[in-house]
Amino acid sequence: DPLQLDGYESLESIGSGSYGLIRKVKRKEDGKILARKEIDYRKMSTKEKEQLVSEVNILKDLKHPNIVEFLERVIDRENCFIYILMEYCEGGDLASVIRRHKELLVHIGEEFIWSIMTQLVLALHECHCGMVINPDTKQATPRLILHRDLKPDNVFLDAKKNVKLGDFGLSRSLTNSQRTFAQTYVGTPFYMSPELISDSLYDTKSDIWSLGCVVFEMCALEPPFLADTQEELSAKIKLGRIPMLPPQYSQELNNVVRAMIQVNPRKRPSTGDLLANPRIKIISMQLE
């Protein structure tokens, strides 16, 4: 009900993402700045409304230091609006960080890249391998959430440069029935994995492919596969050949990027495999 909205002062818009506008708001009781996604569901089909409900349900119990925190949702039935209140990441998105470095012709430092990668692996590990414990029955069920749209525009930084994976607008938590059916792909073509282009079955390894593309782009300051047409892009992605990273990056970083951008999903490391990587292990221990 709108009353709960009175507790917030509207500030400027941040941008418009999947489903709606995202605005900065200030909570009146303590002055805390939050991000509010404002969705007009009047024109939504039943299926879209179901997807929206499932996104909110995914976010509601996905609490992790490297995932944008969901605080609450407010439904304004009078005006057919749903408001999703989330933590505000004042460091902006990774796409802006990459763009700034590209404009200044300055490469992103390798330690910063390992730190971003580690935090994204931890966020994906929670999505792919995390468990939801039922408070009453203490029953643990696997989340198996696929982000499905991992890209620099959906990775945010907070004031302390902690990485926050955001915008689960297109994510899916696979129930058993969905697991068998191919997931139709919606998302950014640059980061589309080969299996999506061919038989479009999306699974955890497709998020790993996208993560590889994000890490590649932090190093090279451009995506691994560039083309003028979708057909050309698809052909390059299916070949899966990527240039070496710029020379200042280590062989280890080259190896981990190549491992994630493998055409064959089975050859890509899982989040568990990546967390066993000594370069990732050390930083993730520091983060815990």
Ligand X SMILES: CN(C)CCCNS(=O)(=O)c1cccc(Nc2nc(OCC3CCCCC3)c3[nH]cnc3n2)c1
Q: How far is the CB of 145 from ligand X (least distance, A)?
A: 17
The single residue among 67, 86, 192, 257 that binds ligand X, judged by CB under 6 A, is 86
Q: State how far the Cα of 85 lies from the Cα of 22, in Å rounded to an integer.
A: 10
Three-point CA angle 264, 55, 23, nearest 5°: 115
109 binds ligand X (CB under 6 A): no
The neighbour count for residue 246, using CB atoms within 10 Å, is 10
The token duo for 77 is 């039935």
8 binds ligand X (CB under 6 A): no
Q: How far is the CB of 108 from ligand X (least distance, A)?
A: 16
Q: How far is the CB of 18 from ligand X (least distance, A)?
A: 7
The single residue among 19, 23, 35, 114 that binds ligand X, judged by CB under 6 A, is 35
Q: What is the DSSP annotation of 211-261? A: HHHHHHHHHHSS-S---SSHHHHHHHHHHT--PPPPTTS-HHHHHHHHHHT
Q: How far is the CB of 73 from ligand X (least distance, A)?
A: 13
> What's the distance, Cα to Cα, between the start and end of the chain in Å?
38
- Of all residues in the chain, what percent are helix, strand and coil, respectively (each to 5)? 45, 20, 40
Residues labelled catalytic: 149
The single residue among 38, 126, 167, 207 that binds ligand X, judged by CB under 6 A, is 167
The single residue among 70, 88, 114, 191 that binds ligand X, judged by CB under 6 A, is 88
The single residue among 62, 68, 85, 274 that binds ligand X, judged by CB under 6 A, is 68
Q: State how far the Cα of 107 lies from the Cα of 221, in Å rounded to an integer.
A: 8
Residues 6+ apart with CB under 8 A from 255: none
For ligand X, the binding residues in 221-250 under the rule CB under 6 A are: none
For ligand X, the binding residues in 126-165 under the rule CB under 6 A are: 153, 156
Three-point CA angle 267, 271, 276, nearest 5°: 95
Q: How far is the CB of 101 from ligand X (least distance, A)?
A: 14
Specify the residue for token string 């190896």: 255
Q: State how far the Cα of 55 lies from the Cα of 50, in Å rounded to an integer.
A: 9
The single residue among 5, 14, 259, 263 that binds ligand X, judged by CB under 6 A, is 14
Pick between residue 17 and residue 265 the one whose CB is nearest to ligand X. 17
Judged by CB under 6 A, the stretch of 91-99, 189-197, 212-220, 241-249 that binds ligand X is: 91-99
The single residue among 8, 20, 22, 256 that binds ligand X, judged by CB under 6 A, is 22
Residues near ligand X (CB under 6 A): 14-17, 22, 35, 68, 86-90, 92-93, 96, 153, 156, 166-167
